[in-house]
Amino acid sequence: MERPAWAPPGIDISVPSVSRIYDYYLGGSHNFEVDREAARKAMEFVPGLPKVMQANRAFMRRAVRYAVDEGITQFLDIGSGIPTFGNVHEVAQSADPAARVLYVDHDPVAVAHSRAVLEGNENAGVVAADLRKPQDILDSPEAGRLLDPDRPVALLLVSVLHFVEDADEPHRAVAELRDALAPGSLLIISHAAYEGMPLPQERVGGAVGVYRDIRNPLVMRTRAEIARFFDGFALVDPGLVKMPEWRPENPVDQEDPYAFSGFAGVGRKA
């Protein structure tokens, strides 16, 4: 029998979770052996995966700081995963203690952990919802509490769109979110791609296969496909680039070669 729409998905920690795998890449221990096993398998193909993740975290940190500098005080982070360190609320609230952050994830463990981490933080919250159903996010009570729809929001889709298959219409989902955002809102995206990987595509394909096997397919997209997510947004300088190249704070030539995998960019809604 099919599960009714209003019944929550079950919890099965014998199945690897992409957010816990991500935590493992970043040296955390918020993970289980199944997650580590999957992560190690992927790293057999692409040993530099932790460096990709680190570059991704660094991009996110710079982008959030940019948003704060641009006067944005509301953050919507979809696909936020397991909060470890250097999270959006830490970065944003260290710059502006009044900054409001709403995390969204569809992994119930990640959501439970986020809730524990955010306990006592009035200006941050978490919603269990799915990027594929933007209306669920926008209509949630937490969104109503934390986000003022009349003021600009920084929407973070960091390392999440590549987990949405084309059949689930990720471009439509992003457009739906865009339409709900006030003018001046920022869209912050990082996305996996074969381009920039310091490895032959077959090797990377091995890692992609690991994600497929754990039923969390990783969808590699081209730069053009990723650029389409910014329809209705004007890309801010320097545009859609390799992660370390986006408003770098370290000398780019000192970055790990893996850091140049995938693309990142920030767009502003007119």
Residue 13: CB minimum distance to another protein, A:
5
Q: Does 122 bind another protein (CB under 8 A)?
A: no
Taking CB under 8 A as the rule, does residue 141 contact another protein?
Answer: no
Residue 43 within binding range of another protein, rule CB under 8 A: no
End-to-end alpha-carbon separation of the chain, Å?
46
Beta strand pairing status for 100-105 and 74-78? parallel
Q: Is 120 in the site for another protein (CB under 8 A)?
A: no
- Pick 26 or 102: Cβ nearer another protein: 26
Which of residues 124 and 220 has its CB atom nearest to another protein in the complex?
Answer: 124
Q: What is 131-187 written as a DSSP string?
A: TT-HHHHHTSHHHHHH--TTS--EEEEET-GGGS-GGG-HHHHHHHHHHHSPTT-EE
Give the nearer residue to another protein in terms of CB position, either 191 or 221.
191
H/E run at residue 38? helix 33-45
Distance separating alpha carbons of residues 147 and 152, to the nearest angstrom: 9
Under rule CB under 8 A, residue 15 binds another protein: no
Q: Which residues bind another protein (CB under 8 A)?
A: 1, 4, 6-11, 13, 20, 25-32, 50, 53-54, 57-58, 60-61, 82, 85-86, 108-113, 115-116, 249-250, 254, 256
